[in-house]
Amino acid sequence: MRTPLRAHGPVWRLLGLARPRGSRFALGVLAAAVATASGVGLLSLAAWLIATAATHPSVAALSVAVVLTRALGVTRGVARYLERLITHDAALRTLADARVRVYDRLAHIEPIRRFRSGDLVTRLVSDTDATQDLLVRGLAPPLAALLTGAGVVALGTALLVPGGLLLAAGLLLGGLAVPVAAAALGQATGRRQAAARGELSAALVDALHGAPDLVAYGAMDRAVARVERADATLTAAARRDAGLLGLGAAGSALVAGLTLWGTLLLGVAAVESGSLGPVPLAVLALTALAAFEIVAPLPAAAARLGAIRASGARLFDVLDTPPAVRDPGGGLESAGGPLTPGPLRVRDLRVRYGPGEPWALDGLGLDVAPGARVAVVGPSGSGKSTLAAVLFRFRDPDSGTVTLGGTDLSSVSPDVARQAISGVPQDPHLFDSTVRENLRLARPEATDAQLWDVLERVRLAVDVAAMPAGLATDVGVHGARFSGGMRQRLALARALLTDARLLVLDEPTTHLDPDTRDAVLDDLLAAAGDRAVLLVTHDLDRLTEMDAVYVVVDGRVVQHGTHAGLLARDGWYRRAHRLPAPAAWSGGFTAIPQRGTGAGGTLSAGLQ
């Protein structure tokens, strides 16, 4: 069942998501059909009523029609209201299903690299929301139109066969051909204007975001001229294409008008030849007049389909991605319990993000003894964060081994590994919830006393206590109500709540200003206590406290040793500390080597 579905287009697969809610949808479509049919039926019945009344029958002959007409006046509104409620409810239920599906899938595939950009995540979420749009605006109207249209054509055929056929042809043209053609024209003009839109947007971003630079360098006039040129191009294109888009509206009006004309022509001829009575003629003509209400919502539905298809394609692109981390399966029990703590050994680690791409890590090796403080430094793009991703089990190595206490990390399930190794990923996420909930993520059973204790250790307790709601304070979207330094401290507090014996801190001080940077780093290291710490950073300050420093360039360790040892030798580390002026970096430099040597004494045996 599932495999043939995958071969279909994204729209079909989106519909597949709605299958469990099929009966609700059927009900919604039925209500929609009843609503439209009431509208058309009202006019048909009224035509019969009036045409019959003209023959002056007894009042009794009209009484049923009178009651029915009044009833139809109410059913349309009621049915429309119910239809809206039912389809929206079904669509929202399907959306919930789709979100769980997408979430489940994302939770199983590598969560770091592909979805790192915030824009991508936002787009993925709105693509998921497109399922709702497809069902409410893309699926229900055509199905309801199909039902009502069939009924109207049956009525027409019963009255006069050629009239029914003409009506069928008109409805097909107006409900299928015109909307599809109009949607195609709309997409074509959209594509044509895309380049002009892109240029306008780029020019605007430059003029508005770059305003200080432009004004300082006297270049604002040129930037505004560029925006106006781009605007002129886009406006000219839009005005040219307006004619094409007008064709859709004209097509709908023409099909409806000519169908009416044909019906009158056929009807009058039939009345003349005696094959049709005057009363059925009135019914047929007014039915043909009202019938185009059925297809009225379809051009809008067709126009949406293109965008929905694109959303679906992107969505299934994500859902079809194979997992990047092998999960040998089993929880703690089946894997023989938690990992035995011990030294971390990384040997010949190679990782790349795709078959054709360069190696992000190319034979990297390092050791972290229990309780040791180790820093990994290097220029941006050298592969440092990929190492953190491997240790967090966000990625599997392409070759090489990572062992903790002798156990290969890829031989256990990611969750088992993460019980032993935790920390702070790059840009740690704070959830739009309370301080308490954000902390309990790491230890759901933690008591408030434990939370205050850990906040104390990251020196955040005073700040949180000063907030009106204490632990129940909302942190805001992305932790927006907290400063950058506080967010990092909160993320570290979370890591400290785990039982992990090795904490990996991936660039914990980027985006912080220099004052906060030093204070946060000092507190981080102090709070880690006797746990091992692997600090990934491009910031060369404060490395005197580390037991060992590894310099990673192009995915390989080019140097390692203590801060003092590395400074004493020629190489990247020493060059990186060199400053342009002859007596560079006067501030702290003379004092550092002694402290560094002192720290070197605690170097663990596992490190050279």
Q: How far apart are CA 83 and CA 297, in angstroms?
A: 14
Q: Which residues pair with 351 in a beta bridge?
A: 361
Q: Of 6, 12, 26, 54, which lies in the binding site for another protein, with binding defined by CB under 8 A?
A: 54
Give, as ranges, the residues between 473 and 512 that touch another protein (CB under 8 A). Answer: 477-478, 494, 498, 510
Task: Determine if 64 is a binding residue for another protein (CB under 8 A).
Answer: no
Q: Of 30, 165, 219, 446, which lies in the binding site for another protein, with binding defined by CB under 8 A?
A: 219
Smallest gap from residue 576 Cβ to another protein (A)? 3
Task: Determine if 337 is a binding residue for another protein (CB under 8 A).
Answer: no
**E strand or H helix at 351:** strand 344-352
Q: Of 449, 462, 466, 581, which lies in the binding site for another protein, with binding defined by CB under 8 A?
A: 581
Smallest gap from residue 486 Cβ to another protein (A)? 15
Give, as ranges, the residues between 71 and 110 that touch another protein (CB under 8 A). Answer: 72-74, 76-78, 80-81, 84-85, 88-89, 92-93, 95-96, 99-100, 102-104, 106-107
Q: For residues 142 and 603, which CB has a smaller minimum distance to another protein in the complex?
A: 142
Give, as ranges, the residues between 242 and 301 that touch another protein (CB under 8 A). Answer: 242-243, 245-254, 256-258, 260-261, 264-265, 267-269, 271-272, 278, 281-282, 285-286, 289-290
Q: How far apart are CA 485 and CA 183, in angstroms?
A: 51
Binding track, positions 111-130, relative to another protein; x by CB under 8 A: xx--x--x--xx-xx--x--
Give, as ranges, the residues between 183 and 212 that touch another protein (CB under 8 A). Answer: 197, 200-212
Smallest gap from residue 605 Cβ to another protein (A)? 30
Number of residues that bind another protein (CB under 8 A): 159
Q: Of 392, 420, 567, 599, which lies in the binding site for another protein, with binding defined by CB under 8 A?
A: 392
Q: For residues 246 and 598, which CB has a smaller minimum distance to another protein in the complex?
A: 246
Q: For residues 241 and 456, which CB has a smaller minimum distance to another protein in the complex?
A: 241
Q: Cα angle vertex 194, ends 192, 195, to 5°?
A: 90
Task: Determine if 175 is a binding residue for another protein (CB under 8 A).
Answer: no
Structure tokens at 265: 């022509």
The DSSP secondary structure of 513-556, one letter per residue, reads -HHHHHHHHHHHHHHTTTSEEEEE-S--TT-TT-SEEEEEETTE
Structure tokens at 179: 């909307």
Q: How far apart are CA 505 and CA 531, in angstroms?
A: 12
Three-state SS letters, 322-376: CCCCCCCCCCCCCCCCCCCCCCEEEEEEEEECCCCCCEEEEEEEEEECCCCEEEE
Give, as ranges, the residues between 541 and 580 that touch another protein (CB under 8 A). Answer: 575-580
Structure tokens at 35: 């609503």
Q: How far apart are CA 141 and CA 585, in angstroms?
A: 72
Q: For residues 228 and 522, which CB has a smaller minimum distance to another protein in the complex?
A: 228
Residue with tokens 């906040």: 455
Mapping DSSP to helix (H, G, I), strand (E, B) and coil, where does residue 212 land?
helix
Give, as ranges, the residues between 422 and 451 that touch another protein (CB under 8 A). Answer: 422-423, 425, 428-432, 441-442
Task: Determine if 215 is a binding residue for another protein (CB under 8 A).
Answer: yes
Q: For residues 118 and 529, which CB has a smaller minimum distance to another protein in the complex?
A: 118
Q: How far apart are CA 36 and CA 32, in angstroms?
A: 6
Distance of CA 90 to the CA centre of its chain: 21
Smallest gap from residue 449 Cβ to another protein (A)? 20
| Helices and strands in the chain: count of H runs, count of E runs | 23, 10
The DSSP 8-state label assigned to residue 302 in this structure reads H
370 and 501 Cβ atoms separated by less than 8 Å = yes
